[in-house]
Amino acid sequence: MLRTEWQVFIANRRFLFLSLGPLLLAAISAFSYYAANSVGLTYIDGYIFIINTANLYTLLFLPFLGVAMGNYLIMAEFNWQTIRRPFVEHISRRRFIVAKAVVAAIALALLMVPYFLACTFLSNVFFGLNHILIEDRTISAVNGLLRATGAYAWSGFILYIFVVLGQIILLRVHNTIVAILGSLLPFYIFVAFGKQLPLAPIRTLFQLPERILQAGTLNGHLGQQVLIALITWGLIIAILLSIQVYLFSRQDIITS
């Protein structure tokens, strides 16, 4: 099932263009910051460039791309009427749901990795990646890159929760717009207010990117927070998938 999903949805020219498309955004950002630096409008180094462009992408573009891709994995099956096919071929509904969720994760990763690599490359070319100054501390370029990668990857983890939520909504309502809005709206609400939530594990989940970037040292305390966040994330995903399997097992599959 997973290989089929890969062959049908990922290993094609359409997805290649989609995943490489954000590179244009990285290039435009690099040129803009470089020009602003050149005329003295601003001063940013390579590290700040990576953080800013990654932020821009993960807050404005990636949520839409990720949720839309997660939805497309299911909606396309309704449009092609292939939604019936796996079940006629005796594939269980649980396998179908899990395959869709796993491919959504792969798609999200493939939408993130090229962009980040491009940002890193461009930051080195245009601004240089030497020692990095964070407030009153200096860290090495490798340390900085590790932090940026960790924070960026964690943003993807957070977003994935809402990608799965979008898939749940879509399978219930069969309406892409409702599903995208129904998952993006909570995403932005949680990103804005999640850090203030009274529930500590959930709060940690949303605080983690900042903590990774700002921690004095990558020490045991941060490690503990990463562990709490990972367990919380895993539980949320497991609960969402269980809900999805439960609901989908109790609904008719109708294409027209």
Partner 1 sequence: MIMQALLTVRNLTKRFGAFTALDNLNMSLYPGEIYGLLGPNGAGKTTLLSTLFGLLLPDSGEIHLQDRRIEPGRPETARGLDGFVDTPSFFPHLSAIDNMRISARHRNHQLSENDILAQLERVGLKHAATRKVGGFSTGMKKRLGIARALMFPQTLLILDEPTSGLDPNGVREMRQLILDLKKEGISVLLSSHILTEVEQIADRVGIIDHGRMVREDRLQALTTTPNTYWFTVDAPTIAISILATNDHLAIDRQEGNDIQIRLSPRISPGEVNQLLMQNGVLVQGIRPEKSHLEDIFFRIIGVH
Q: For binding to partner 1 (CB under 8 A), which residues are involved?
A: 1, 3-4, 7-8, 12, 80-93, 249-256
Residue 89 or 135 with smaller CB distance to partner 1: 89
Q: Let me know the angle formed at the C-alpha of 57 by 55 and 62, rounded to the nearest 5 degrees.
A: 125
Q: Whole-angstrom Cα distance, residue 149 to residue 50?
A: 10
Residue 178 or 253 with smaller CB distance to partner 1: 253
- The residue behind tokens 């503990």 is 224
Residue 12 or 140 with smaller CB distance to partner 1: 12
Minimum Å gap between C-beta 167 and partner 1 is 18
Q: Which two tokens stand for residue 12?
A: 């094609």
Residue 50 or 171 with smaller CB distance to partner 1: 171
Residue 42 or 255 with smaller CB distance to partner 1: 255
Alpha-carbon 183 to chain mean position: 13
Minimum Å gap between C-beta 13 and partner 1 is 10
Residue 84 or 221 with smaller CB distance to partner 1: 84
Minimum Å gap between C-beta 101 and partner 1 is 18
| Contacts of residue 143, Cβ cutoff 8 Å, sequence gap at least 6 | 132, 218
Minimum Å gap between C-beta 11 and partner 1 is 11
Minimum Å gap between C-beta 17 and partner 1 is 14
Helix residue ranges, H only, the chain: 2-5, 13-20, 22-38, 46-56, 62-79, 85-88, 93-126, 141-173, 176-193, 200-214, 220-249
Closest listed residue to residue 230, CA positions, set 127, 130, 160: 160
Q: Which two tokens stand for residue 49?
A: 């460039």
Minimum Å gap between C-beta 91 and partner 1 is 6
